[in-house]
Structure 1
């Protein structure tokens, strides 16, 4: 969620944080920002999120809600947004991606993404997603000191 906040409530309004985010660099694995590797400590992840909060708060404090920005990774025809829209988007993304409710819903119905026609997830076929899930599980087991899967 840190990169979501830094992107929508920073870069979109010409306020880059300067925070290094290797998972958004050219050639990074799709979805790499949605999980922590075994090398990334809890302190690193929580610290990053705290810095993202502070940066987002500074943008919200500094700009009126009707300030227009441009989401660099959206299609040009809809890339222009207001700060109000960006704040609502971040709230929706936080709701969608944090907590266990989303995971439980995915286990129940097997569906992923935001909604039909706009899943807002990286591309990948079934084999890619199965491999991704296995990598995330291996990283979690390694970080937790458990046996590799």
Structure 2
């Protein structure tokens, strides 16, 4: 058993989430990385843009370490949700480059400060704005992993590509026929459960009559 190293653990899971999020952009057109795929407009490049701002805020500004990166979409008076999509003149390279610079800035904060360092989150309410670095890193990991999960689903909707990460896709088969059969079994099970629920509700109503 090795000695616990919380900083190394945090850095590992944060980087894993970052890598997964960027991997979902690979091989897609400019249109496909940007197009909204849910009723609320969720899109792949927008998730990356949002994640960059989160890191620069929680692991930079909150600890008195501003990056100097201009983020007009996060300024007061900016359009709602402006950090969740890329405009036509914001290139993929610009957004990905910003995210990578955000990584470097956040990692420098993690390396420079003890985990029990207390910072202040500018957008939290006064008197409730203190946060430890440990909490801030954990919060960023949770947020990035959540959006990596969103990206998993979006990428599958675009071209059917799936997987947890480049070196470990984490799925049981790459055979389309296997997946068609699997999905069919799930559909049949769902329909049967729906029929059973309707039958049980009808029986309960009859007993109550």
Q: Which has the larger radius of gyration?
A: 2
Aligned length: 104
Partner of 1:79: 129
Match for residue 135 of structure 1?
A: none
Deviations, residues 62-114 of structure 1 (Å, cap 9, x unaligned): 0000000000101123210000000000011112223436867xxxxxxxxxx
Q: Distance in 2 between matches of 1:73 and 1:103?
A: 30
Q: 2:148 aligns with which of 91, 98, 102?
A: 98
Deviations 1:21-62 (A, max 9, x none): 010122101111111111111100110000000000000000
The 1:29/1:98 distance shift into structure 2, 3 A limit, reads farther
Q: What does residue range 1-149 of structure 1 map to in structure 2 within 5 Å?
A: 1-100=51-150
1:139 aligned residue: none
Cα contact 1:70–1:81 (8 A) shared by 2: yes
Query: Which structure has the higher relative contact order (CA within 8 Å, separation 6+)?
Result: 1
Distance 2:77 2:150 in 1: 29
Worse-superposed segment, 42-51 or 22-31:
22-31
- Residues of 1 paired with 2:114 and 2:85: CA distance? 33
Distance 1:40 1:101 in 2: 19
1:96–1:102 CA contact under 8 A, matched in 2: no
User: 5+ unaligned residues in a row in structure 1: which ranges?
Assistant: 105-149
- Larger helix proportion of the pair: 2
List gaps (5 residues or longer) in structure 2.
1-50, 155-209
TM-score, length-normalised on structure 1?
0.65
Q: Secondary structure at the match of 1:16?
A: coil
**Aligned-residue RMSD, C-alpha:** 1.6
Q: Normalising by structure 2, report the TM-score.
A: 0.47
